[in-house]
Amino acid sequence: MGLFSAPEFKVGLLVLIVSGIIAGMSIKVSNDPAGLGSSKSAHFFMDDASGLVKNSNIRMAGIPVGMIRDIRLENGMARVEVVVKGDTPMTKSARVEIRPNGILGDKFVEIIGGDVRDPPLRSGDQIMVVDDRASVDRLIGEISKITKSISQVADNIKAATEGDKEKPLGRIIDNIERLTTDLATLSSERKDDMGEIIANLRETTDTINDLVNDNSDDGFKSAWKDALKSLKKIEASLDNVEQITGKINRGEGTIGKLINDPETADELNTAISGINDLLDTGNRLQTSFDYHSNFMTNTGEAKSYISLRLQPGIDRYYEIGIVDDARGTRERVTTTSTVGGVDTTVREERTYGDRVRFNALFAKNFWDLTVKGGIMENAGGVGLDYHLFKRRLRLSVETFDFGNIQIRASARLNLWSGLYLTAGGEDLASKMGTSSAFVGGGLFLTNDDLKLLLTRLPF
């Protein structure tokens, strides 16, 4: 018992107990650097880790939740490894904000947990988003840019106010100086002219004063009195107009009934509408007159055409006309006779005295192409017209009289003010040698030309 009660033994036992406690705490701290029970680790990368201190606190919402375990260089960037409490809420969208910890340049790490709907951040994962809000260098750089801009503005204002003509404000000041100098020069050099102008103005005002104060019968005052009398007459006329309008408003007289009687107004509107429709129809309907004559080279005779065209729209027209053919009506006759048991076929063309024939056609325009059909020279027929060179040249082909087929091809060249030339071939399908070339000319009068001619007639 003496050994256990000795002071040396008690001191040694106390030292052993304290050493055990310290060793246990050291082991615990080594396993849990945060010193907060279970923990998990994470890391992130930064361009500049200055101001961060190893083993400094890490906060979330301003509350310490861990510490910086290590800071080292990796691939040219600062790798910061942190240890936080195991129950710290962190997801894959967690981010790190580097915030200032005073005015001496120290910083601390603030962790934002991220969206709770995202998967949790596992121990050892990387925090991808890092926001370095505490970079003093960046702040100083921005302030430097602002001061540089302010300095440039000050320099520009200084250069402009000092009269630098290369600057807008300097040019404005220089122009103002030139203007004032020119005005001063003008006023000094043109003193006599200015005096003359002032003298003329004085004479003009004196003349106006004499005119106003003229008391003669032909003077201004007399004319003013006459004007006042005329105003009184105008007032009397206005009274009469007021009486007339009053009667009209009360429905008295023909005009009053016309205005106040709905039936009369409707009848008048109907009549006016009918007149307008008639006039509009006349305006829309384009009427033109065409006359031309062709000289037939095979017979030396002429073939003349007179036609009237009615065009209700730009895409169609109707045409009626008369044809005078000096060769008369021709007919091909085939005669077959039998002599001695041998059939002989004779084809001949007979000409009759019927020289006058009629045309009645309907035509449809498709841009520069016109398709037409109807009666051509007393027989059914069709034709095509094609316009060239802004409708100055027209190429035509027509076929009619399908029993004895007639084919005509022609060209028409407009010269000036309705005058034109024609050339082509007639009866091109003939096998009897009756085909003929022709040349000729004509006159085409439009609706406006006819109106002008009618106004010039002596009646």
Cβ–Cβ under 8 Å, residues 84 and 40 = yes
Q: Is residue 270 part of a domain?
A: no
Q: What is the DSSP string of 331-382?
A: EEEEEEEEETTEEEEEEEEEEES--EEEEEEEEEEETTEEEEEEEETTEEEE
Of 420 and 256, the structure prediction assigns the larger pLDDT to: 420
Domain C-terminal end among 82, 115, 134: 134
Query: What is the residue-averaged pLDDT of the chain?
Result: 80
Residue 281: per-residue pLDDT: 55
Domain co-membership, 9 together with 110? no
Confidence of residue 133 (pLDDT cuts 50, 70, 90): low
Q: Is residue 423 part of a domain?
A: yes
Compute the half-sphere exposure of residue 391: CA atoms within 13 Å on the CB side of its CA: 6
Domain co-membership, 98 together with 70? yes
Cβ–Cβ under 8 Å, residues 404 and 331 = yes
Predicted confidence (pLDDT) at residue 69 exceeds the cutoff of 90: yes
Domain co-membership, 21 together with 44? no
Domain co-membership, 61 together with 118? yes
* Average of per-residue pLDDT across 27-52: 71
* Average of per-residue pLDDT across 413-420: 90
Domain co-membership, 5 together with 71? no
Range of the domain at 422: 285-329+351-456
pLDDT tens digits, one per residue of 197-230: 888 888 888 888 877 777 777 777 777 778 888 8
User: What percent of the chain shows pLDDT beyond 70?
Assistant: 79
Domain co-membership, 62 together with 19? no
Domain co-membership, 427 together with 447? yes
Residue 79: per-residue pLDDT: 94
User: Bridge-partner residues for 77, per DSSP?
Assistant: 74
Domain co-membership, 36 together with 22? no
Contacts of 420 (CB under 8 A, 6+ apart): 292, 412, 413, 414, 441, 442, 443, 444
* Domain count within the chain: 3
Residue 196: per-residue pLDDT: 81
Domain C-terminal end among 104, 134, 164: 134
Q: Is residue 116 part of a domain?
A: yes
Domain co-membership, 296 together with 417? yes
Q: Is residue 360 part of a domain?
A: yes
Q: Is residue 171 part of a domain?
A: no
Domain co-membership, 87 together with 130? yes
**What are 134's two structure tokens?**
């505490």
Domain co-membership, 406 together with 443? yes
Domain co-membership, 293 together with 385? yes
Q: Is residue 130 part of a domain?
A: yes
> Among residues 54, 57, 43, which one has the least CA distance to residue 108?
57
Q: Is residue 40 part of a domain?
A: yes
Confidence of residue 415 (pLDDT cuts 50, 70, 90): very high
Q: Is the pTM of this model over 0.75?
A: no
Residue 398: burial class (beta carbons within 10 Å; 0-12, 13-18, 19+): buried
Q: Is residue 57 part of a domain?
A: yes
